[in-house]
Structure 1
Amino acid sequence: MRVLLLLAALLFGLPSFAASRCDVNVPTQTVDLAQVSIAYQSIGRASDPALLLVMGLGGQLIHWPDEVVVALCQQGFRVIRYDNRDVGLSTWRQAPASANLTFEVLRYKLGLPVAAPYTLTDMADDALGLMDALQVRQFHVLGASMGGMIAQHLAAMAPQRVESLTLIMTSSGAEGLPARMRHWCSCCRGAARLIVRWRWNSRRICLRHWAARMCRMIARHCCIRRRCPMTVRSTPKA
């Protein structure tokens, strides 16, 4: 009877144990690398196989849906998500170089070399530095959008450490791939007009919220100005 009661307690206690093990409300921590301090969260047991999530342009670690993180953790992974340099809570340990986005776009249109304060390889090296600091030798990688480009560089830099590579809505930049959506810019402009119109009509109830969002957008734009030339210059070709 005691054995049956013990087994029942273990059986009914497993869901609550899994829920506590996969709690996404863990503290955000930082590791200091040569140029930047990287903010990250680690969800799951340290003994579980590690899965590194690499977010795209301007995306923070919190942009990985919690439901997805919990599901991956419950599959037996230690999920590690982090803020890339120039994003979120990750900070520079030294003053970052500036970039003139308009000038660099003009050079790109003319077929001239594009200068960038840092490259995708530098960002992949940040990811490796994070995993080194966490003493994780081998790990799986999941990258979305520009994060997929970083993930490709990461796999090329340390193939013996990357056990699997999953890429979402990204590209290698190889010749012959489908072109970008032709009307993407016009769609963005139309969406922006709709947002501005809605904001103006609702200005009395959301002015504070709108101002706070604009401040964040301006700060993010300053970071993206440094990063856009980098994506052009160092897109993986293989």
Structure 2
Amino acid sequence: MSPRLPPPSVPTIAETLKHPAYPTALWNLVPDVAGSSAVAQGRGGPIKISWEIHGEGPIKLVLIMGLGGFKTAWQRQTLYFGHERRDQYSVLIFDNRGMGESDKPFMRYSTSEMARDVAELLAHPDVGWLPSFPLPSYPSSVQRTLHIVGISMGGMIAQELACLIPSAIASLGLICTAAAVEQTASFLEHYAQRASLLLPKTPDRSVRDAARRMFSHAWLSAPVDDVHLPDPETTPKVLPPSSGGKYLKFSSNAERFVAQEMHKRLDPKGGFTVKGFLLQLIAAGWHHKSAEQLAKMADEVGRERILVMHGTEDGMISMPHGRKLIDMIKPGMAEISPGLGHCPIVERVEWFHGIIEELVKKGETLSGRG
């Protein structure tokens, strides 16, 4: 048996805040259209959802963020698809209820209600990516134009959305997510640990623990791989950092994560709150789709249009959950990637983009636009 390696080192918050690259950790990507639109009328609302569309291409890509994340966490994908390939893609990003610039009502959250938020946002006149039809009934005659990608809790919302509007979906990417998180004794311990990430007494411990659960330890320990930074001189609607100057590299992958996490937690608009996090946590913890429900969804969407991706080193939603989801859905694309953690959108950016491009191309071809 090989000796157990110590956990990877994670820089302190104080060290990270002093790094020259810290002010440039969030990229200044200007949306083509943005707004804050009301959803959930008659469902405890109205609830304002903050959203942005980047790009003006015909391919409509909808990115659904996970637990406690802001829409800016998609910045690598927003840059790649919505700016560098803006003639091909239009990318919709938004803050789920409870986070960022969206409303944070104090009520019971569920992934099914959050999926209805997304469906209503897509049909809202401000966005206009779906015709407006009453839910939960949705006509099968709607053209398949939406490419949906959801990560973690966002993947749970994406499952519910696919059950609501299957005929509108050209492709569906379920990333590091689950049909349900197994409710065992370890489940309760696991979610207690996730809630403990918010304790203000030990912010360094909180961020360090989050880093070690979200990413593979090998990636955290590796030299920085942030080689693709925004270039305001060559890319449309990309501005220099708000602090001025150029976008800078970090010293390590771990340091880059701590910097982005602290930008979120220190958000001057107060977008990150304990209340919002816990309400989203309840939604993720009690998400449940049966094998029968997922099979019906896969039949209606089309299995060949679906991707399920998971990593063997996922410390947030363990790999067996991904295998179970694959067994239930039997998707056309299944990726269980050795050594991958919970966040391929950060950990394996170029690889992830390539797979999403493959999925989108397949969805476009099956929809008669290939």
Return the TM-score normalized by structure 2. 0.41
Where 2:58 maps in the other structure, the secondary structure is coil
What is the CA-CA distance between 1:49 and the residue it aligns to? 1.8
Aligned equivalent of 2:61, options 38, 46, 51: 51
Aligned equivalent of 1:123, options 111, 114, 121: 114
Are the structure 2 counterparts of residues 136 and 219 from structure 1 closer, same or farther at C-alpha, using a change threshold of 3 Å? Answer: closer
Matches within 5 A, 1:106-145: 117-133=108-124, 134-137=127-130, 138-145=145-152
Where 2:273 maps in the other structure, the secondary structure is helix
Aligned partner letter, 2:205: A
1:89 and 1:52 map into 2 onto residues whose CA distance is 18
1:81 and 1:72 map into 2 onto residues whose CA distance is 12
Superposed CA deviations along residues 124-166 of structure 1, whole A, max 9, x for unmatched, are: 0011011101221331101111101100111111100111001
1:55 and 1:124 map into 2 onto residues whose CA distance is 12
Where 1:96 maps in the other structure, the secondary structure is coil
* Contact 1:30–1:40 (CA under 8 A) maintained in structure 2: yes
- 1:96 corresponds to: 106
2:207 and 2:280 map into 1 onto residues whose CA distance is 27
* Contact 1:174–1:237 (CA under 8 A) maintained in structure 2: no
Aligned equivalent of 2:36, options 30, 46, 51: 30
Q: Structure 1: which 5+ residue stretches go unaligned?
A: 1-22, 98-116, 196-208
- 1:165 corresponds to: 172
Matches within 5 A, 1:1-238: 24-26=29-31, 28-33=34-39, 34=41, 35=45, 36-45=47-56, 48-65=58-75, 67-73=76-82, 74=85, 76-91=88-103, 96-97=106-107, 117-133=108-124, 134-137=127-130, 138-173=145-180, 185=193, 192=205, 213=266, 220-238=273-291
1:227 and 1:130 map into 2 onto residues whose CA distance is 18
1:149 and 1:64 map into 2 onto residues whose CA distance is 17
Provide the identity percentage.
24
Q: Structure 2: which 5+ residue stretches go unaligned?
A: 1-27, 131-144, 209-261, 292-370
Please identify which structure carries the higher helix content.
1
* Contact 1:141–1:166 (CA under 8 A) maintained in structure 2: yes
Aligned partner letter, 2:161: L
2:154 and 2:128 map into 1 onto residues whose CA distance is 22
1:128 and 1:171 map into 2 onto residues whose CA distance is 21
Are the structure 2 counterparts of residues 218 and 162 from structure 1 closer, same or farther at C-alpha, using a change threshold of 3 Å? Answer: closer
User: Deviating runs (4+, > 4 A) in structure 1?
Assistant: 182-186, 188-191, 214-219
* Contact 2:64–2:150 (CA under 8 A) maintained in structure 1: yes
2:49 and 2:73 map into 1 onto residues whose CA distance is 16
2:109 and 2:164 map into 1 onto residues whose CA distance is 16
1:70 and 1:219 map into 2 onto residues whose CA distance is 23
What is the CA-CA distance between 1:193 and the residue it aligns to? 6.9
Where 1:160 maps in the other structure, the secondary structure is helix
Cα root mean square deviation, aligned: 3.6
Return the TM-score normalized by structure 1. 0.62
Where 2:48 maps in the other structure, the secondary structure is strand
Are the structure 2 counterparts of residues 192 and 216 from structure 1 closer, same or farther at C-alpha, using a change threshold of 3 Å? Answer: farther
* Contact 1:174–1:236 (CA under 8 A) maintained in structure 2: no
Are the structure 2 counterparts of residues 25 and 234 from structure 1 closer, same or farther at C-alpha, using a change threshold of 3 Å? Answer: same
* Contact 2:67–2:284 (CA under 8 A) maintained in structure 1: no
1:155 and 1:79 map into 2 onto residues whose CA distance is 18
